[in-house]
Structure 1
Amino acid sequence: MTCRYKCGNACDQPVPNTSANQHVQDVITTALARRSVLKVGGGALALSAVSSFAPAAAKGNGAPAGAGLSRNLGATQFSPVPPNTHDDVTTADGFTSDVVIRWGDPVVAGAPGFDADNQTPESAAKQFGYNNDYVGVLPLAGRRHLLVTNHEYTNEELMFPAGRYSDDAKRKIAIQSHGLSVVEIVRDPEPGGYTVRPVGKAPYNRRITGTTPFTVDGPAAGDARLRTAADPTGKKVLGTFNNCAGGTTPWGTVLSGEENFNQYFGTDGALDTRYTASYARLGISRTGDSSRKWRLSDPRFDLTTEPHEVFRFGWVVEVDPYDPTSTPVKHTMLGRFKHEGANVTISRGGHAVAYMGDDERGDYLYKFVSAERFDPTETQQAKKHNMTLLTKGTLYVARLTGDGAADGVHDGTGEWIRLTTDTESFVPGMSVVDVLIDTRLAADKVAPTKMDRPEDVEPNPVSGKIYAALTNNTNRGNSAIPVDEANPVAGNKHGYVLEITENAGDHTGTAFTWLLLLVCGDPNDAATYFGGFPKDQVSPISCPDNVAFDRQGNLWISTDGNALGYHDGLFRVPLTGAKRGQVQQFLSMPTGAETCGPLISEDQLTAFVAVQHPGEKGGSTFETPASTWPHTDAFPRPSVVAAYRA
């Protein structure tokens, strides 16, 4: 069910990347084989099977009873949550969680209370949207904050009582249930918890939906391929949807990635032959909207009626949560593909550098370096300047190479390959605008490394290293991505976490080294690896999706699609010292839910997570749900949760 609604069954379709570029699995498998050989020769990094995971103190962290009970999530010790299938958010002992806001809760003035039997497009446009994903928390005065959340997609089988709504009504409500929400929250007097400020006292609150006006900037703005009958300028777009991860910029805005946008477009007619290659590379097809058919309620989603509307999606969007009257922007300079998100750091020289993943089997890692420099002064003029940083610069794609040395680790070197600046393309036969609109086709020509679903890619604010969640690639071994001598095992069910170190710590450079920090899965599996930490003292982890960091520099990983038979969860992983690689599960999800977000609050007292698609299992319906979490109704409601020391 998740595959159907979230990405249009992308993994059941042919792999869009048919290029002969090297796949990351080739590099990784070679390195793992090298490390295994070294173990036979007496090396220190074992790959042999070990005893099973024990969540309790018998095999735990060695802390005496009562020790380390700090509220600081980066520093405190806890006994990991055992793998489980509870229909609840289960936290580590000593911690608790609260629902902050749920699907359907009022967001802006005039929003009615949620009533599943009386949903309308007008009410949905004023209420908290469906399937919250990215979570950002930005400061206001005192204990007040702004919660910014994506609403990635809708699942009509779980949203609507059978027979209550027409198909047209469902589609129109769904369009308004996508997008983003900006909601003012207040930290509770008891540290860790948060509550929503009453709508009448929250002037920053805002809903952005599938029909909210956006402007388009960067070199592709106004190109003929972005012009439609409704917008002959090619610079004004209605809405954003399938927004997955995101990031908070150093200048106080939020970036959000439009991911599986292809599934919203289709046609009963003919496709424009001018765009055959472009459509195919992004999985856009006549029947690609078979689950949604928005075109029957809004003709702009019909590829025959309006072949250019699809080019207006697949971008990174920027929202200023501090200005509810502002118009959000789509940044064409960051390229068009299935963006998981975008996360920005500031280089030593003051340039804004954004890291991005293209979430598809066999697609690529990207980065963007701004041409102009960040202004750190806290003025409106500085903010206005900083909000232009993503309009000019250089877009790169990554190539990874194994080092071939018998050093006992799976690592190597890498290169950021230039695709284009805002004025000059480096891809033969393609203009600057061609590269930005058809970024996948452009990248194919420069031989980057195919990755196994690169999702969230984020810089660690403490170390400056970059971490990428590579979720999985269960199609490894088919005709599109064959098994070979360097890839002897078909199927990557559990994924990896990749660590990238920019040479000399320079985020604007073109050379880097890489290291596979985690090979995820059951610690009993000989193929797994946890940064060299003993495998009998780690939590099983499968399908890393999003990453975050605390002020100690620890990595926090949320998972999506646990292939070990347990529910998804949130995990903490130290990155330095003796405990580097010690994966510990902090919380687990309800039935059918994915862990999204996540975010560790600035004061490190709270872990925010978005509980996305609870109850989303095959056969589940509104009347017979697989989950009723958060157990406030007879049906599930996606929600944002705050977890903290009880």
Structure 2
Amino acid sequence: MNRRSLLIQLLGLSLGAASTPALARPQNLNGQPGLQTKRPFPPLRGPMPLPTDGLSAAQQQRLYKRIELDDKVVVPEGYRAELVLSWGDRLGSGRVGFNNDYLAFQPLAGDQALLTINFEYISARPWCEGYAEVTGQTLPFAQLQTELERRGGEVDLAALAANDPLRPLVTAVAEAALVDQGIGVATLQRQGDGRWRRVNSKLDRRIHGLSGWRPGEQRLQVSGPAAAVFRQRKRQGYDDGLTDAVIGSFANCAGGQTPWGTVLSAEENFQTQVVEAVYADGSSPSPARRPFRFDGRRLEGLGNPFGLAGNKYGWMVEVDPRRPEQAAVKHSWLGRFRHEAVAVRARQGEPLVVYSGCDRHGGHLYRFVSAEPVGDPQDRANSRLFAQGRLEVAQFSSDGQGRWLPLEPGTAINPRRPSTLAVDGVGQSAVVPNSDRSQAGSMALESDAAVNDYCRLFSTLGDLYPGAGEAQQGAILIDAHLAANAIGATPAARPEDTDIDPTTGELLISFTAGGSDGSERADPAIFRGPRGETSWPYGWVMRLADGPAQMKSSGGTFQWRMVATGGTPWQGGMGFSNPDNLAVDRGGNIWLVTDRSTSSASLDVFGNNACWVLPRRGPNAGEALLFATGPMECELCGPCFDSEEATLFLAVQHPGEDNGTRQAGGEEYQAFTLRDRANQPFQQLRRVPIGSNWPSEQPGRVPRPGVVMIQRRAGGKLLPDCH
């Protein structure tokens, strides 16, 4: 692929109509020459030729030669996409937060419903540009940035004098940013024409990153062994003085629902705001280890000004949307790591089983198994099952088999040897808990010999985490990622969503990208490209058939296989890149949204992030059909359906993340070398807006994250031919 920026609007310069080549917007495929098979919907024509587009090689070269990307949500002919809510709208006692992600739909009586929404993080540029317009308030962004630059770009608030003028600047911006993260519950009302509209109700609610910081506010609770760590009076590290109470929830990415009506919200990239490393007893270092930073494009260390203890973030949070008076609970048996999503299997008479992935290069797939069986799966009392059980982590074999390793004190230390993760003769360090147990965090073992020496120092997880009882188990769960590394769990390719296929019972897992982040990498024996590539940045979807989980004995086995591969068709991929959230409808069709980095030129060929459908039946079974594309520089998140599967809700996250507000005429031209179905190369010219004005679509208006609903104009199910 050859990408180059040809023309960029700069200093008011733009191309007039006379000098602009005729460009075609991506459009629907129905009616295109050569399209013979019946589709469940008329797929969009995206930015590159696909095997499923029904076009000849000559037609592909002609129709894809020049295209234009749109700064809006584009859906197939016969469908409509409408805004439901967006950042800044009133919600409960606060407002709709920033960068909406996971969505959970729950019906109520009287054609009403609740939509639970995660608000993940702050994209500094569009957030700063839009804050005053959206909230009606101002923040001292410029003054804060100038003062921080004068002091080296970062600050530990606790080290400042009480009268330091920087204090109120930092506190104001950090508080606003944390309030714009967390969880929200919004009430919807179905109209006579089937559309869903926002209405206010007593169930509307906000849980934000500082909930409980001010007197009288509800704090979050903790279940399971980590609570014993938080209650310890003697500890190696920092004490926030709150024992097992928790202030707020932030970095809320994906999630899941339970059959009894609660929502699980995943705290993912908490490490940018609080300290991730912990000591052997599970306590955190001082917040000074993660100072506050703001340079106009990055906003980090938000927990520092408020003394937040890092070990209380990175959990799965359970919320009951129908009970706003009930405190949210962080369930520590599900482990502390960079949670992306969760899948819940609740069968009467069997243990509760919960799957979750850690979204990082070299992250792991985890399974929680409850100590007691599920009764009625719809009984709200099932939440108590999270309080006792065990956490296990996956170890994959290249033959399509795998097993679960328990994260408990008696499990043997056996890290992966660097030689087994080598790519092109270059080994990958084994990242494990620091061998000096008076120090927090990790160390890198560069050789197999170093790993063998480490195993001689520590025989079991109990040697690494030398506490006793619940506090010992709690420390292991708090340090789940490094503990999993230490026992030989498979480093995976950024495991993102986990969903249970209702038609097969298999677990679906999206892996966003293979390769390395410089510190850890995915196992190259498991995560390989179509032609055996050991670094494959485009991702996969896996099916995992799990064996029975036992309440009284740990371990167990599973089988796995890859069923979808990202990448361009001429590389052996299906046309999408970086699969993220998944949803499976009752017909078994997989809905997949993508999260390719919009700041990476190497991924620009894939165009805007999108929503794809992989039909279960019919002539296109297992193929990827393009259903929707998002605005500029956004990610589409949280696909979920209403009860009739007549509405698809999507979260449009961070439009304009890289370039902020689009000004009139702001665009560039990009050139790519593509290949047609005969594998012949041809050149494409693409016109690309710079920045975003979504959802207003008015030049100069700030972009705002928001939630859209997509429906068929004629009404009825989204995919009537697929059920």
TM-score, with length taken from structure 1: 0.74
Out of 380, 390, 396, the residue aligned to residue 392 of structure 2 is 396
Q: Which residue of 1 aligns with 2:693?
A: 628
Q: CA deviation at 1:485?
A: 9.7
Out of 561, 569, 578, the residue aligned to residue 543 of structure 1 is 578
CA displacement, residues 275-298 of structure 1 (integer Å, 9 cap, x when unaligned): 799989xx9954685633556972
- Relative to structure 1, is the Cα distance of residues 517 and 54 closer, same or farther in structure 2, using a 3 angstrom cutoff? farther
The one-letter amino acid of 1:141's match is A
Q: Which residue of 2 aligns with 1:265?
A: 274
Gap regions ≥5 residues in structure 1: 1-52, 69-75, 110-125, 302-308, 404-411, 531-539
CA displacement, residues 143-190 of structure 1 (integer Å, 9 cap, x when unaligned): 100010000011232123499521433222111111111000012222
Q: Confirm or deny that 1:512 pairs with 2:519.
A: no
- Relative to structure 1, is the Cα distance of residues 158 and 447 closer, same or farther in structure 2, using a 3 angstrom cutoff? same
SS at match of 2:188: strand
- Measured in 2, the distance between the counterparts of 1:355 and 1:195 equals 33
Q: Which residue of 2 aligns with 1:493?
A: 537
Q: Which residue of 2 aligns with 1:158?
A: 126
Q: Which residue of 1 aligns with 2:589?
A: 554
Q: Which residue of 2 aligns with 1:611?
A: 652
- Measured in 2, the distance between the counterparts of 1:485 and 1:87 equals 40
- Measured in 1, the distance between the counterparts of 2:232 and 2:69 equals 46
Q: Confirm or deny that 1:196 pairs with 2:198.
A: yes
Q: CA deviation at 1:597?
A: 0.4
Q: CA deviation at 1:462?
A: 2.3
Q: Confirm or deny that 1:592 pairs with 2:633.
A: yes
Q: Is the 8 A contact 1:393 1:422 kept in 2?
A: no
Q: Which residue of 1 aligns with 2:115?
A: 147
Q: Which residue of 2 aligns with 1:333?
A: 333
CA displacement, residues 101-148 of structure 1 (integer Å, 9 cap, x when unaligned): 010011125xxxxxxxxxxxxxxxx11011000000111103100010
The one-letter amino acid of 1:606's match is T
Q: Which residue of 2 aligns with 1:467?
A: 508
| Identical columns (%) | 32
- Measured in 2, the distance between the counterparts of 1:485 and 1:643 equals 40
Q: Write out aligned runs for 1:12-51 (5 A).
A: none
Q: Is the 8 A contact 2:291 2:304 kept in 1?
A: no
Q: Is the 8 A contact 1:392 1:422 kept in 2?
A: no
- Measured in 1, the distance between the counterparts of 2:362 and 2:221 equals 31
SS at match of 1:516: strand
- Measured in 2, the distance between the counterparts of 1:635 and 1:100 equals 18
Q: CA deviation at 1:475?
A: 3.4
Out of 37, 52, 62, the residue aligned to residue 37 of structure 2 is 62
Q: Is the 8 A contact 1:81 1:91 kept in 2?
A: no
Q: Is the 8 A contact 2:129 2:661 kept in 1?
A: no
- Measured in 1, the distance between the counterparts of 2:293 and 2:499 equals 31
The one-letter amino acid of 2:543's match is E
- Measured in 1, the distance between the counterparts of 2:412 and 2:316 equals 21
Q: Write out aligned runs for 1:277-288 (5 A).
A: 286=290
Q: CA deviation at 1:574?
A: 2.3
Q: Which residue of 2 aligns with 1:537?
A: none
SS at match of 1:222: helix
Q: CA deviation at 1:422?
A: 13
Q: CA deviation at 1:443?
A: 0.7
Out of 167, 172, 175, the residue aligned to residue 178 of structure 2 is 175
Q: Is the 8 A contact 2:249 2:267 kept in 1?
A: yes
Out of 43, 53, 56, the residue aligned to residue 79 of structure 1 is 43
SS at match of 2:96: coil
Q: Which residue of 1 aligns with 2:83?
A: 99
Q: Confirm or deny that 1:566 pairs with 2:607.
A: yes
- Measured in 2, the distance between the counterparts of 1:93 and 1:254 equals 33
SS at match of 2:623: coil
**Segments of 4+ moved more than 6 angstroms:** 225-230, 275-280, 421-426, 482-488, 504-509, 621-625
- The more displaced of 498-507 and 515-524 is 498-507
Q: CA deviation at 1:489?
A: 3.8
SS at match of 1:91: coil
Out of 621, 632, 639, the residue aligned to residue 580 of structure 1 is 621
Q: CA deviation at 1:612?
A: 0.3
- Relative to structure 1, is the Cα distance of residues 561 and 186 closer, same or farther in structure 2, using a 3 angstrom cutoff? same
Q: CA deviation at 1:206?
A: 0.4
Q: Is the 8 A contact 1:151 1:242 kept in 2?
A: yes
Q: CA deviation at 1:357?
A: 0.4
CA displacement, residues 287-325 of structure 1 (integer Å, 9 cap, x when unaligned): 685633556972404xxxxxxx00011110001100111
- Measured in 2, the distance between the counterparts of 1:565 and 1:183 equals 33
- Measured in 2, the distance between the counterparts of 1:571 and 1:260 equals 25
Q: Is the 8 A contact 1:81 1:90 kept in 2?
A: no
Q: Is the 8 A contact 1:592 1:614 kept in 2?
A: yes
Q: Which residue of 1 aligns with 2:226?
A: 220
SS at match of 1:238: coil
SS at match of 1:245: strand
Q: Which residue of 2 aligns with 1:210?
A: 209
SS at match of 2:560: strand
The one-letter amino acid of 2:175's match is K
Q: Confirm or deny that 1:642 pairs with 2:709.
A: yes
- Relative to structure 1, is the Cα distance of residues 599 and 220 closer, same or farther in structure 2, using a 3 angstrom cutoff? same
SS at match of 1:265: coil
TM-score, with length taken from structure 2: 0.66
- Measured in 2, the distance between the counterparts of 1:250 and 1:484 equals 37
Q: Which residue of 2 aligns with 1:525?
A: 571
SS at match of 2:102: strand
The one-letter amino acid of 1:547's match is L
- Measured in 2, the distance between the counterparts of 1:293 and 1:479 equals 20
Gap regions ≥5 residues in structure 2: 1-26, 48-67, 133-137, 145-168, 212-218, 414-459, 466-471, 598-602, 667-689, 714-723
- Measured in 2, the distance between the counterparts of 1:553 and 1:319 equals 27
CA displacement, residues 54-100 of structure 1 (integer Å, 9 cap, x when unaligned): 9454454612xxxx7xxxxxxx4333342362100000111111100
Q: Is the 8 A contact 1:258 1:339 kept in 2?
A: yes
- Relative to structure 1, is the Cα distance of residues 331 and 603 closer, same or farther in structure 2, using a 3 angstrom cutoff? same
- Relative to structure 1, is the Cα distance of residues 256 and 480 closer, same or farther in structure 2, using a 3 angstrom cutoff? closer
- Measured in 2, the distance between the counterparts of 1:502 and 1:272 equals 32
- Relative to structure 1, is the Cα distance of residues 571 and 176 closer, same or farther in structure 2, using a 3 angstrom cutoff? same
- Measured in 2, the distance between the counterparts of 1:161 and 1:469 equals 33
Q: Is the 8 A contact 2:29 2:42 kept in 1?
A: no
Out of 390, 400, 403, the residue aligned to residue 415 of structure 1 is 403
Q: Which residue of 2 aligns with 1:502?
A: 546
- Measured in 1, the distance between the counterparts of 2:608 and 2:324 equals 37
CA displacement, residues 533-586 of structure 1 (integer Å, 9 cap, x when unaligned): xxxxxxx11100011110101111110016234001111112456543111111
Out of 74, 97, 106, the residue aligned to residue 138 of structure 1 is 106
Greater gyration radius: 2
SS at match of 1:499: strand
Q: Write out aligned runs for 1:253-402 (5 A).
A: 253-265=262-274, 274=279, 286=290, 291-294=298-301, 298-301=305-308, 309-347=309-347, 349-376=349-376, 382-383=379-380, 385-402=381-398
- Measured in 2, the distance between the counterparts of 1:453 and 1:424 equals 25
- Measured in 2, the distance between the counterparts of 1:463 and 1:506 equals 21
- Measured in 2, the distance between the counterparts of 1:422 and 1:603 equals 48
The one-letter amino acid of 2:369's match is V
SS at match of 1:420: coil
The one-letter amino acid of 2:210's match is T
CA RMSD of aligned residues (A): 3.6
- Measured in 2, the distance between the counterparts of 1:482 and 1:368 equals 22
- Measured in 1, the distance between the counterparts of 2:303 and 2:345 equals 42
Q: Is the 8 A contact 2:506 2:544 kept in 1?
A: yes
Q: Is the 8 A contact 1:393 1:421 kept in 2?
A: no
Q: Is the 8 A contact 1:218 1:391 kept in 2?
A: yes
Q: CA deviation at 1:234?
A: 2.4
Out of 252, 262, 282, the residue aligned to residue 261 of structure 2 is 252
